[in-house]
Amino acid sequence: MKKLLKPVEPVLEKGLDTVGSFIHTHPKINFLFGALFGAFDGLLRSARETTHTQPFIRNNYDVKRFMGAVLVALVAGWVLPAMYFYGWQGVVSKLLVSFIIGIFVVDVIWAIIAREEHISEGGFVSCLFIPAILPPQAPLWLVGLGAALAIIFRNILGGVGNNLVNPALFSRLFLTICFPALLVTGYQTPFVGIPDLHTFRYGLDAVTHATPFTAFKTGGETTSYLSLLLGTANGSMGETCRLALILSGLWLIKMRVANWRIPASYLGSVLILSVFFSLILGRTVAPPLFQLLSGGLILGAFFMATDPITATYNQTAKWIFGAGCGLITVLIRNFTTLPEGVMYSILLMNLLAIPIQSLMVKIRYRV
């Protein structure tokens, strides 16, 4: 590998240097493409900075790998399965709309208004979430609006490293309030089998309006656990193939990008509470395993609640954070008319993370 790359190295190095110096001498171009170039350059080359204070050597692990790992896990966890179940064309077009509107339109306008030096690359992850949490048949403009809102919220709330709540979920909350009808319809039936040309592009034409959870609420019927796990039951575009989500979530935990305490406490508390309520209230409450596998719980627990910036820093507080998410999810799902509680629970706990964190610090250090 090294030998193969050896001849291209000088050419590439020179090219990158020229492009880099060109970008940095033209403020306008730097403004638009500086971050993009920086990200690309950072992928191909190491940093130039050296250490000046103790310790003089540093570990080979940086935030870029962090983000890269999240992107890889999301692609493996929902993009690829969704392409199979719903046809690649819908998925790709939605992703493109989300990225273009979110990053290249809204973020750029924001950067102009806020007079920032250049747009940051942190919006990629948020924009990758947007199509995942909308129904598969959601119109493209809805996806674009969602991405725009997510980026606006992210910037208003302080930008990368300073988010109060998960911007993607916040934008979905906004869409739920503004367009309630669009978010409970358009649940395309996932395709199963060997695809022909048509289904490969578009998926199946069948559309239902009921997710497994609404079906349970109205008729009391539960979907088979296997179909929930494999993704052949309908739901939002990115939440159906739970097996892939669990595997890539575990990979993230192994890479130490996601903190295991949050999924453990979130899923654990959902399980315990649903067992508890089932024992007391019987069949009016959804069965525990069905609760674990339905809706956006797996996606939320592994990918959204674990976003370190919106969770608490203290590790003990992470247990409380996860358990709180679980409690709210179970309560909303079973005792309100709302079809799904994951989004609300994570958003609410994001807000509560700050008091929980300061409370835990107070308890721990007695200040």
Partner 1 sequence: MSVKRCMRSYLSQPSFPRQKNVFVKKENTRFQGGFYLPDAYPLQFCSIIEDISSDGTPEMFQFKVPDQKVAHIIVNLCPTEPWALPNWVILKHKTPSFLNMLKEIKTNYFPGAVLSLAINEGECRTVEDAKKFASNEDWMRVFPLYAKYPQDDPVLLLKVILGIEVSFGQDTKSLGVLILDAQTVSAIYESCILRNKVDSRLIVLSGTGLKENEIVNVQLGTSIEKILKNKVKETGKYRVFINGPLRGNEITDLSQKINWSVNNIVVLEEKNRKVMFPMIKSDELILTTNLLGELRRCVYCNYCDNICPVDLEPALYYHSYTRGEKHKARLYNLEKCIECGLCSFICPSKLELLHIIKECKALDKQHEKIT
Chain residues binding partner 1 by CB under 8 A are 1-2, 5, 9, 12-13, 41-42, 44-51, 53-66, 160-162, 256-257, 259, 308-309, 311, 313-315, 361, 365, 367
Identity of the residue, 195 or 308, whose beta carbon is nearer to partner 1 in the bound complex = 308
Q: What is the dihedral of CA 270, 273, 275, 279, to 10 degrees?
A: -160
| Shortest Cβ 116–partner 1 spacing (Å) | 14
Burial of 86 (0-12, 13-18, 19+ CB in 10 A): buried
Identity of the residue, 239 or 307, whose beta carbon is nearer to partner 1 in the bound complex = 307
Report helix, strand or coil for 287: coil
| Shortest Cβ 99–partner 1 spacing (Å) | 22
| Shortest Cβ 42–partner 1 spacing (Å) | 7
Q: Which amino acid is at 12?
A: L
Find tokens 């069905």 and name the residue: 290
| Shortest Cβ 304–partner 1 spacing (Å) | 15
Contacts of 280 (CB under 8 A, 6+ apart): none
**Please, where are the H alpha helices in 220-287?**
225-230, 242-254, 261-281
| Shortest Cβ 34–partner 1 spacing (Å) | 13
Find tokens 């796990």 and name the residue: 229
Identity of the residue, 25 or 50, whose beta carbon is nearer to partner 1 in the bound complex = 50
Identity of the residue, 59 or 337, whose beta carbon is nearer to partner 1 in the bound complex = 59
Report helix, strand or coil for 323: helix
Tell me which DSSP letter residue 187 carries. Answer: E
Identity of the residue, 68 or 268, whose beta carbon is nearer to partner 1 in the bound complex = 68
Question: How many Cβ atoms from other residues are within 10 Å of residue 280's Cβ?
Answer: 9
CA distances from 250 to 16, 25, 81, 169, 264 (A): 36, 44, 17, 22, 11
Identity of the residue, 209 or 362, whose beta carbon is nearer to partner 1 in the bound complex = 362
Contacts of 346 (CB under 8 A, 6+ apart): 166, 169, 300, 304, 305, 325
Give strand pairing partners of 187. Answer: 208
Identity of the residue, 65 or 198, whose beta carbon is nearer to partner 1 in the bound complex = 65
Q: Per this entry, what is the length of the chain?
A: 367
| Shortest Cβ 171–partner 1 spacing (Å) | 21
Identity of the residue, 191 or 321, whose beta carbon is nearer to partner 1 in the bound complex = 321
Cis omega (within 30 of 0) for bond into 7: no
Q: Which amino acid is at 96?
A: L
| Shortest Cβ 308–partner 1 spacing (Å) | 4
| Shortest Cβ 71–partner 1 spacing (Å) | 15
